[in-house]
């Protein structure tokens, strides 16, 4: 798979791409990530990428020409499956979106700045828009890097233990169960006895219950679309009955 990031701050991408799972995936040839300086696709001597907004208003707006030229140059090097503009009005980026993108071969990520981008980029160049959340950032580089990180870890060979990816939070629509390591007791806080029992069936059931309990308490909105097996549905019913009984005593 290949990502092409278009930005006016290419060095901002160096750290996240040069560490951890993404760096190892690049070194192993699992993914190729190319960062393009948008200013390389300008034609004036000032290398201008922005201008004032028609109709007035605060802030500067990315001009369409450099972005179109950048994507044209990228497409000249091979087929592109998606041109994604990170945008507050975009579809929410979720684990399901990451899984979808992991099935593509080449993705371009356009990193906006300032007040925004000329709307002709949205309507005539980007094939889709994605948002990583309802808050304001200084630019699109961090959202683009979040998308790259979330997708890369899903690619075969990117993570040493594929089972750990399968068990990640949101992989089936649930939050992860609690994790513990040595020592068994620390400052009066003890690891649950079931995890020390060596009984793998009990441990598996405990983890399933805790994952459901945590999701029910913190993110109940995830449960209607979660992928549950028969045992998990039974555990969830029991948890909801317990919760109803507790509320009834309040």
| Residues noted as catalytic | 88, 115, 153, 168
Angle (CA) 40 44 48, round 5°: 65
CA atoms within 13 A on the CB side of 167: 12
173-203 as b/e: b if 16+ CB within 10 A? bbbebeeeeeeeeeeeeeeeeebeeeeeeeb
- The rounded distance, in Å, linking the Cα atoms of 144 and 6 is 10
- The rounded distance, in Å, linking the Cα atoms of 169 and 173 is 7
Q: List phi, psi (to 5°) of 139.
A: -170, 180
């Amino acid at each position: 798979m290949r990502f092409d990031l278009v930005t006016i701050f290419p060095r901002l991408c160096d750290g996240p791409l040069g560490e951890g799972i993404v760096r190892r995936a690049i070194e192993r040839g699992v993914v190729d990530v190319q960062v393009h300086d948008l200013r390389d696709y300008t034609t004036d001597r000032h290398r201008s990428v922005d201008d004032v907004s028609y109709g007035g208003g605060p802030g500067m707006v990315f001009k369409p020409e450099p972005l179109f030229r950048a994507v044209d140059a990228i497409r000249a090097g091979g087929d592109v499956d998606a041109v994604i503009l990170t945008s507050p009005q975009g579809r929410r980026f979720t684990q399901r979106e990451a899984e979808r993108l992991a099935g593509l071969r080449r993705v371009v990520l356009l990193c906006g700045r300032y007040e925004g981008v000329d709307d002709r980029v949205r309507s005539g160049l980007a094939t889709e828009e994605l948002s990583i959340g309802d808050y304001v950032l200084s630019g699109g580089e961090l959202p683009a890097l979040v998308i790259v990180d979330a997708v890369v870890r899903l690619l075969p060979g990117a993570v040493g233990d594929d089972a750990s990816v399968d068990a990640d939070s949101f992989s089936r629509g649930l939050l992860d169960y609690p994790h513990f390591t040595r020592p068994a007791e620390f400052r009066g806080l003890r690891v649950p006895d079931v995890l020390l029992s060596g009984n793998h069936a009990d441990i598996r059931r405990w983890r399933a219950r805790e994952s459901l309990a945590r999701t029910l308490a913190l993110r109940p909105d995830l449960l209607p679309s979660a992928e549950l097996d028969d045992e998990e549905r039974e555990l969830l019913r029991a948890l909801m009955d317990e919760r109803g009984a507790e509320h009834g005593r309040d």
